[in-house]
Structure 1
Amino acid sequence: MATLVLSTVGTLVGGPIGGAVGALIGQSLDQRMLAPSRRGPRLGDLSVQTSSYGSAIPHIFGMLRVAGTVIWSTDLIEDRYKSGGGKGQPKVTNYSYSASFAVALSGRAIRGVGRIWADGKLLRGAGGDWKSGIAAFRLHHGGEGQPADPLIASLEGEAPAYRGIAYAVFEGLELADFGNRIPSLTFEVRADDGPVSLGAITAALSGGGLEGPATPLLAGFAATGDSLRGAIEALADALPLPLRDTGTALSLGTGAQITLSAEEAGTGGEAPAARLARSRDAAGTLPDEVAISYYEPARDWQASLQRARAGAGPGRRAMRVELPAALAAGEAKAIAEARLALHWTERRRATVRLPFQRMSIAPGDLVTVPELPGRWRVESAALDGMIVELGLVAHGAASALVLPAAAGRVTGDADLIAGQTVLALLDLPPLDGVPADRPQLWVAAAGTGVGWRRAALLVSLDEGASWAEAGGTAPAATMGWADTVLPAGSSLQFDMTGAVEVTLANDAMWLESRDDAALSRGANLAMLGGELIQFGVAEPLGARRFRLSRLLRGRRGSEGAMTHHAEGESFVLVERETLLPIDLPLAQIGRSVRVLAVGRGDTRDGVEAQAIVGARAVRPPAPVALTAERLPDGTVVVRWTRRSRTGWDWLDGADAPLGEEREAYRLTIGGRTEETGSPVWRYSPAAQAADRQTGPIAIAVRQLGTIAVSDPVEIVFGEEEES
């Protein structure tokens, strides 16, 4: 700006000539004032989060990935909950931690924030979904009228609004995924709509006092530094573009094009050497490799490198230029190639002495000098008496071509949407062959998006009057819902006619057909509604739909549910590692249990499931093969075959294990009961006469388990059977 001031003062004092002299002196001062700063921007400045006092906050243009500066935070907030306690084990107290903090992103207003990474892993996706738990997130765009953040104000009493600074506030970010510490964050910041020109950048940084070219267009740029030149020196150095003073405005780039006559340049007189001198930099002082480091949008805005070499081998005199701008790989490659070519073009230098009438020529102007081929850029201008001395360098135009170049492989996490939690409660017999000592329900959960991982659980045993934390779900189960109704069938053989079509919750889930040997080992066990089935054939129908056939029905004592199917009922592939057991008190048998799950993609209300505790974990399955045989003396011998809640794999051909403390059965005949310790009962003629009233006699048999009784199996016989 010294040129502007001294030019004006010189004009007032000495007219046009005085103005020219003042401008020339001012140019000399500006070359020192606007020289490259000692603290220019570096690529690493944008990728490392800071929290130290006095840290520079970059001015973001276009779109860029930046780390920002932590400007406020709370201490860690500790939460605790108890889990476990099943099968005689003690309850365990678990601790979790969260924190609230604010991060400054840009020293100028922005339009929004896209993805967010934490410790290099995706924390928030492009769709705004969170991969870790957070209570709330607020973005302050940096407008001059923005209010103070309500959380900061409520905790601090008074809080600045940080007007003119864009910043993000995290409220209650869960820290379990980050070693219980605030992670290092980077943000995809969108400051402008689309690419931004160099002219727009320089105008914004200088308040309209610095002009710049309309090209190149940059996908993003971060301006930092301790001066105007410091904020844009990396761009000026990489392209390269001189910062010059025209006498009326600052400008970035080449200026006027001037042709000098032979007479004024001294090339037509008798002693041209007195006015024109030439030189050439030694080849050994020039770089034979230029590397441009930049930000690559195709690699999630990570730092990338493109090289240009003069020759086939590796460069011995390498030059590296750090450009805190977002470019396509081909654009960065073109800059490196042009920068290398310019070094060799600009090795030719010259000095020319001109009459004082040429004082208006300024650094950055292009001149044509007789006997000097090509155009020459004015690098310096000085006044020696009434002689203007110009330092010239051969001018080579930077290439505007985009060269073929590879962006490289993206190393970040895939942006997978979690979707809404899908939840089901399963009443299952023991899955591991060990008899349970208390009722259980098994929680199956997944998400409608492939990015779903787990959800936090709350359990209520009193119809929602109170809730207790139950930790988190198991990994995602393979689950969905029925599109058709499965007809009734038999549990005694393969169901070759019945079939059901199901839709799975997300695109990552799949079902496979299995042979009979695999089915005998328990493969493809699934809960459909309340019935456990196995399927041998899973036919893909497209769009996450499968047709299941070659069925084994009523598995593990669930034959009572074979006639209770409905469209839309839940389908869950029973795999132990994807199910979470919830132990319940004995008093809960026959009562309702409500479970609430809150996952990353759910609303704060979460997703709820409810079930009546049927206690299959502690209830023996109903006896089978119930028969009644009348002996010649009129006695009826009732027989049945017991089953076990722990002996589903019949491997040795012998009786299944009892699975209870003792073998006992209860028979109900009309309104009275009988008990026996073996699977047979003799019904005397006298007892029959006493029980018979007007119709057939019904006998229901239940096995008495250690904790609960089985469902009944019933047989009916009447007078026609006695004759």
Structure 2
Amino acid sequence: MATFGLTVAGGIAGSLIPGIGWILGASIGSTLGGMIDGANMPRSEVGKLADRRFGGSSYGVGIPRVWGEARVGVNIAWVAKDADGNHLIQHVESQGGKGGGSGGYDEYWYSVTLAGIVGEGRRWFPDDTYVDRPLSLVTLWANDEIQYQEGAASPLLRPDEGFIWHDGSEAGGVIPDAEMVARYGMPEEDVPALASLAKFIAPDFSCRRFGNQPPSFSAVVKTAAVSLADIVSDLLRSCGVPLAKIDVSAAMAVAVPGFVIGDDGDPQSSIETLLEWYAFDLIELDGLLRLVKRGDVPVATIPAKDLGAGAGGPGVRVKRTRINLTELPGLVKVSYYDREKAHQAGEQSDVRQSELRTQNSRSLALALSITSGEAKQGAGRLLDSAWLEVDKYDLTLMPRWMWLAPGDPILVPIKGELVRMRIVRMEIAPIGEVRLSCVGEGVEAYTQAESGSDPGSSVQPPVQEVVPSEFVAWSGREVSDAHQTSAGFYVAASGPVGWQGGRIRWSPDAGASWIDGGAITRRSAFGEATTILSASGATANVFDDANEVTVQLASSVAEIASASDSEILAGRNHAILGGEILGFGVASPNGGGEYELSHLRRGERGTEMAGHASGDLFVALTPAVARVPVAADYVGEDVLVKVVSPGEDADDVTAVTVTIAPRTPTVEEAAIATMVRPYFVAPTNLKTTTGAYGWTTIDLTGLVPATAQAVMIETRYADSGSSREVTVESRSDSSGSAYTLAYAKIQDDPDTTGMGSATVPLAASDVARSIDVRSVGGFGVVQTIRLVGYWG
């Protein structure tokens, strides 16, 4: 190249010319070479695209439906094309070469004219009616860059530069847009009008800042102010329900700040979510679909005399069914769009602290644009409602109550108290009673005062309020096989509203020192018996329908419920009453925390059914009850037990005294204890002689334990002498007066050491725990009988 050649030449010339030198000469040569090369190099191209076509909207993509203010994605519905069928219009800017020669580059960039759909402006229904909900544009983003802002002085997209907005109403865009007609280059009637759709037209939109490709657009749009009545009415009409069949007047005052149904939303699920969130019911009454607000004043108080009505005579007044508490949510999460943060996705939750570990969680996705505080309050409302509606009631009324309707709140007398409930189903018999299915309802659930948390802000932790624990402790028959491996005691705890659990502390030395027994975090139901449970006619492990007992729970927030036989046989709904472990099938509330228990499965786990008294400890045996194992050394000893709540001074808690009961042997230990096994002992001489002797009684008392059922003996002889015989008999009756031959050994080889062995059975009584031995022959021969073991 000229540059390299002239650099070398310049260097050589510089070294020959006085005063210039090699370096300066090389620099001059390089500059001259660059000027020559620049004049000969071709220009480069930067950013040029080979394919200038663009894929826009897809067939079948849903169009957002917006009420109020919401953020939506934009569907590119149309892109203009040039004469060659290209969507991206090419622009070029030339940059000159260095030194003013022909070298340099051409930079390419592209623009596009497009139409973006943001939602429906006119809503058409199956009966060919419609409602206009024109949309206005609040903010428009291209990727994350704001292109238009309502009220901004200088938006990037400006109407005076060709940016066009259609609100989707008849006046705003039924006919094709003039820009689209001009760009299509065809008759107006052949250009798609995109009627009833809110949309924008962006002529010659520069893609230069977006990698020379059209960006992704999103927008915040809004309609006029709407109510829950407006939204539900529109959704019902979109399902084909005529306007004349809809009564949403009860929700006209409920303002909804923003709601959107995207391309994956359907009217039915949207209605269900809105009604649950705003605490309404949708009922069918007299041919109308009607909205009914929850939490209103009860429409009636049902007299006790009207309960249990039936064509065949009086029946059950009220049938109450309770949902299993373990199936209720302990945590509710709500996802929503935060209208205070440009409608970005947010999440708030509420927790039922005492039930968190044992309960399920529930998540609810809302298409609402609300504040964090509104979301937090709603999560609390949903959680509280789930727990307040745990009771289901079935009742039958006199025909004069047929004017009631589903959704109506009523008051019903149960056990001397008026219980508020909401009708969820109603049937009127052809001839006879009115049948109602209801759920328990608490109006306090519909009022929440919590504010939402901002995960991105610094929040000071709240001052912790000390909520003391209510607790009981006891030791006795283990409630499960797994607890039989060690001695120990049980603790059940609860507390008033706001209780956060506590730590179990116990002392084996009258309070001189305290040992941590672990955390207890879940509520238990406990109290005492107010009547005496009889054992008359009761059989262990059998349901007892002849006896019942009334118990009073200690905590105002504790509850127990009825259960089926199969649930009881599976281990649910058990309690300890006094020292008896039992299952309870029916728990009838009398009000004020008092329950009448009946249909009892008595004497489980071998516990005593007799001896009950008023004041017996009652504890519902659930996983909330904690067990603290202790060493065997503490069996029979008293220990002190207390439960200390978070932030509470342990010295302020009064301890209860528990006497540690011995543990129950495990099934394996009990089986082994009944097995007869051999035990070997150090050989013990029972009799040694050098001659014959008559029957001699040997008392084994003290040599083997009282549980021994047989002894193992051996006989030995010296290796000389004449023939000899040893006979052993045992006592075969408890009085020791009968004998049974157990062993006879004859040894007639004078040159062989004789040894024999035998297992001799023993009678059970102490007087018969002896054996009788006799030896004949073998005079002068040393003979020994010794004990080597026993069976027991």
Q: What TM-score comes out, normalization by structure 2 length?
A: 0.42
Which protein shows a greater Rg? 2
Instruction: Determine which structure has greater relative contact order: mean sequence separation of CA pairs < 8 Å that are 6+ residues apart, divided by chain length.
Output: 1
Q: What TM-score comes out, normalization by structure 1 length?
A: 0.45
